[in-house]
Chain A
């Protein structure tokens, strides 16, 4: 994709596909509840780095794919990832200036919001309440954010995605 100033779209696509793969990859039983929200993390990174290319629409579409993959109500992840993408776009300039640790804290807030929306929706449609470890994915997402950030930044610079 070498069309003027916008290129590297395939790299963005690949990272999203990798995130989707990680979302449904089989894990041992004890680790099933600890899976970080890969799609959310990748989405936040690209919204922050390239707000003019990846935005609310991408978030909605990826959310729909997650819904299809994980068998949740169509639109649940679409809604919450749309909100996450919107907030990231809103604050992307501030987020870029934060040191990585402070970024991670902001990410924690975004991920918890994402899960909270999911929880509300599942309560509305009559699923039972969640145990305490329901929130672990957000915490893990915060802990691995520096890793995700440096990997994706390396990829963005290596492949000159802009």
Chain B
């Protein structure tokens, strides 16, 4: 009888996705287990932090400070470019949203089924995480959330065999889909025609077409391109940019929340968007508006 019950359970979970709430509630039950597995790591982290010498900390602060200055200068340029981009898109009457809300989450050191590329992070529904939410690390797109429990959520990586991500070639805008290969350092692009312009070294970014991932984030670089005259499609293999098996800190991104930004990092960008979005999007007025926009860009820096 239990066998039949498990069979029903599996069908319901896999086919109809109707057990999400059950899974969420029950995941509270296993949360203590996940936490206690995490415990040795967090204790050793705490020790190494509190036992670090003053000089080590000083050096770290110094290097972080230089890094921040470098990144700040890059950001200045980016803000100006963003304003310009928005202005140009207004000329074209197309919308473009920049400035997603982000939240830093940490990977829990819990191993899941080794044949599925999944990870557990320490944020859940209490932090407004939702299924389907994109997950990034400092280098690129990592994956998306599949289950959001109250305290933890499970995410699927872009290399899982059941995952596909809409991408475009950054150089020429050629769009395609990258499928997970099951190997942690490989993505397959099976739908690229033999005649398409793609070559090793090309950067692949999210195209934003699926509506899940925000456009413009780096995903992978093309590793090899093989043209087989017998096949309709070229065999293209790419390497993910995100450090899928070594990143500890990950970023959760909320889409289309330009109006409700909480993260302090994004505020300058938001102000710029507000300034440029108020006028009509007709070509003449957008041109008039260019001066105030660049003024505010200068102000915020």
Q: What is the CA–CA distance of A123 and B202 in the complex, to the nearest angstrom? A: 35
CB distance from B86 to the nearest CB of A (A): 40
Contact B7 A128 (CB under 8 A): no
Partner of B33 from A24, A26, A122, A127 at Cβ < 8 Å: A24
- Which one of A41-49, A70-78, A98-106, A146-154 is at the B interface? A70-78
Q: What is the CA–CA distance of A20 and B29 in the complex, to the nearest angstrom? A: 12
Q: What is the CA–CA distance of A71 and B12 in the complex, to the nearest angstrom? A: 15
CB distance from A129 to the nearest CB of B (A): 10
| A116 at the B interface (CB under 8 A) | no
Chain B residues with Cβ under 8 A from A20's Cβ?
A: 30, 33
CB distance from A142 to the nearest CB of B (A): 19
Contact B115 A122 (CB under 8 A): yes
Contact A68 B114 (CB under 8 A): no
- Which one of A7-15, A56-64, A89-97 is at the B interface? A56-64
| A54 at the B interface (CB under 8 A) | no
Kindly supply a per-residue 1/0 record for chain A positions 22-43, scoring 1 wherever the CB is within 8 Å of any chain B CB and 0 otherwise.
Answer: 0011110100110100000000
The A/B interface has a contact count, at CB < 8 Å, of 100
| B267 at the A interface (CB under 8 A) | no
Q: What is the CA–CA distance of A128 and B26 in the complex, to the nearest angstrom? A: 28
| A138 at the B interface (CB under 8 A) | no
Contact A75 B30 (CB under 8 A): no
Q: Which of B1-53 contact A (CB under 8 A)?
A: 2-3, 5-10, 12-14, 19, 22-23, 26-27, 29-30, 33-34, 36-37, 41
Partner of A68 from B30, B109, B245 at Cβ < 8 Å: B30
Kindly supply a per-residue 1/0 record for chain A positions 127-160, scoring 1 wherever the CB is within 8 Å of any chain B CB and 0 otherwise.
Answer: 1101000100000000000000000000000000
Kindly supply a per-residue 1/0 record for chain B positions 79-121, scoring 1 wherever the CB is within 8 Å of any chain A CB and 0 otherwise.
Answer: 0000000000000000000000000000001111111101010
Nearest to B13 among chain A residues (CB) is A74
Contact A70 B29 (CB under 8 A): no
Chain A residues with Cβ under 8 A from B14's Cβ?
A: 73, 125
| A17 at the B interface (CB under 8 A) | yes
Partner of B2 from A56, A65, A71, A127 at Cβ < 8 Å: A56
Contact A82 B118 (CB under 8 A): no
Contact A127 B34 (CB under 8 A): no
Chain B residues with Cβ under 8 A from A27's Cβ?
A: 111
Partner of A32 from B37, B114, B118 at Cβ < 8 Å: B114
CB distance from B23 to the nearest CB of A (A): 6
Most buried by B among A74, A78, A134: A74
| A79 at the B interface (CB under 8 A) | yes
Chain A residues with Cβ under 8 A from B114's Cβ?
A: 32-33, 35
Contact A71 B182 (CB under 8 A): no
Partner of A74 from B10, B29, B34 at Cβ < 8 Å: B10
CB within 8 Å for A68 and B23 given contacts A75-B6, A78-B9, A130-B115: yes
Chain A residues with Cβ under 8 A from B9's Cβ?
A: 74-75, 78
Q: What is the CA–CA distance of A78 and B22 in the complex, to the nearest angstrom? A: 15
Q: What is the CA–CA distance of A125 and B15 in the complex, to the nearest angstrom? A: 9
Q: What is the CA–CA distance of A121 and B10 in the complex, to the nearest angstrom? A: 9
Q: What is the CA–CA distance of A142 and B120 in the complex, to the nearest angstrom? A: 30
CB within 8 Å for A126 and B115 given contacts A21-B37, A57-B2: no
Chain B residues with Cβ under 8 A from A109's Cβ?
A: none
CB within 8 Å for A25 and B37 given contacts A79-B10, A82-B3, A125-B14: yes
CB distance from B27 to the nearest CB of A (A): 6
| B239 at the A interface (CB under 8 A) | no
Q: What is the CA–CA distance of A112 and B161 in the complex, to the nearest angstrom? A: 24
Q: What 10 A-B pairs are tightest by C-beta distance, nearest first?
A: A75-B9, A79-B6, A75-B10, A75-B6, A74-B13, A26-B109, A78-B6, A32-B114, A60-B2, A70-B113
Q: List 8 A-B contacts (CB under 8 A).
A: A26-B109, A32-B114, A60-B2, A71-B120, A71-B147, A74-B9, A78-B9, A128-B182
- The residues of B with any CB-CB pair to A shorter than 8 Å are 2-3, 5-10, 12-14, 19, 22-23, 26-27, 29-30, 33-34, 36-37, 41, 109-116, 118, 120, 146-147, 154, 161-162, 182, 245
- The residues of A with any CB-CB pair to B shorter than 8 Å are 17, 20-21, 24-27, 29, 32-33, 35, 56-57, 60, 63-65, 68-76, 78-79, 82-83, 121-122, 125-128, 130, 134
